[in-house]
Copies of this chain bind each other. A is one copy, B any other.
Amino acid sequence: MSPNLDLAAIVRGLHAARDDWRTAHHRDARGRELPSPQVIEQMVEQLKGALFPMRLGPPQLRSDSEDFYVGHTLDAAMLALQGQAVLELGHAGREARLPEPQLLERAARVVREFAQALPEIRRLLDTDVMAAWQGDPAARSVDEVLLCYPGVLAMIHHRLAHKLYALGLPLLARIVAEIAHSRTGIDIHPGATIGRGFFIDHGTGVVIGETAVIGERVRLYQNVTLGAKRFPVNDDGTLAKGQPRHPILEDDVVIYAGATVLGRVTIGKGAVIGGNVWLTHDVPAGGSVSQARTSEGHGVA
């Protein structure tokens, strides 16, 4: 039995709602103006296969056809990226009304730079994999952390997203980051600068802000926040965008579960921040901060 709707009336109602929105926001919407999360999700899956073919690629892959798989998959991924980059650049510059050929050329240049960066991204990710293996006594093999550690998955997405962000595609970068956020509960802003050998254990609830700067071999546990104390304000009271407002973590810092670090503070090299600590000031190199109650508890592994 059909519900017997007045479908046409509902379609008209939705049409009117869209019209009101578009009028209010000066949109004409002749065609798609915005990137497609589905397309980007597929592209990231392809990139993961191209970066780690024998572990994240198709089950039946063999090493003597690895390069063919990598080349073919990269080609598809970069073609998709080109299309999405054109959409983002066009949308960002819709007031400047950049002519189409210029838009295409700019997108092509960005895609080229991104593609050239992939070998280096792979090498960086290898350091993250090593860090996960060394940091978790429960890990049995350096290979397996790539297959099942959410912190490693989040870093694959972050290192790709961070490059897109640096190349002037912050929306694509954000979509890449949010896919990881959805799957892992780890929310790293694509703007965050993160050094080699970074490891997040368990991960759910971690939040890292846009201007955070993280050194080498840093380790975080679940529910750690690296946030802003307050938003910097311009003289006229408007929010000052892009100002450094999140913490700096020097090399070898460890921050245990539930700790919150806010503002442009610096946690010195090798410092250890205990579980659930709430911190809004600098900590010297080698320092250690903890709540009395947490002095003995550091992890779950």
Contact = CB atoms under 8 A, between A and B. Distances in A.
Contacts of A228: 297-301
18 contacts: A2-B30, A2-B31, A3-B81, A4-B64, A5-B115, A32-B61, A34-B55, A36-B59, A39-B59, A68-B68, A68-B69, A69-B75, A148-B174, A150-B181, A185-B185, A185-B205, A187-B204, A204-B204
A10 interface: yes
Determine how many copies of this chain the complex contains. Answer: 6
A143 B34 contact: yes
Interface of A: 1-5, 7-11, 13-18, 20-21, 25, 28-39, 50-51, 53-55, 59-76, 78-79, 81-82, 91-92, 104-105, 107-108, 111-112, 115-116, 118-119, 122-123, 126, 137-138, 140-144, 147-150, 170-171, 174-175, 177-178, 181-185, 187, 189, 202, 204-205, 207, 209-210, 222-223, 225-231, 239, 241, 246, 257-258, 260, 262-263, 275-276, 278, 280, 293-294, 296-301
A62 B31 contact: yes
A72 B5 CA distance: 13
A2 B4 CA distance: 25
Nearest to A175: B148
Contacts of A21: 126
A265 B51 CA distance: 44
Contact of A231 (B104, B137, B140): B137
Given A78-B5, A207-B202, A32 B13 contact: no
B3 A115 contact: yes
Nearest to A110: B3
Contacts of A15: 66-67, 70
A147 B37 contact: yes
Contacts of A171: 140-141, 144, 147-148
A203 to B, nearest CB: 8
Contact of A69 (B72, B107, B210): B72
Contacts of A300: 207, 209, 225-228, 246
Given A3-B82, A62-B75, A187-B204, 11 more contacts: A2-B30, A3-B78, A7-B64, A14-B50, A17-B119, A30-B64, A34-B143, A37-B148, A68-B69, A137-B241, A207-B300
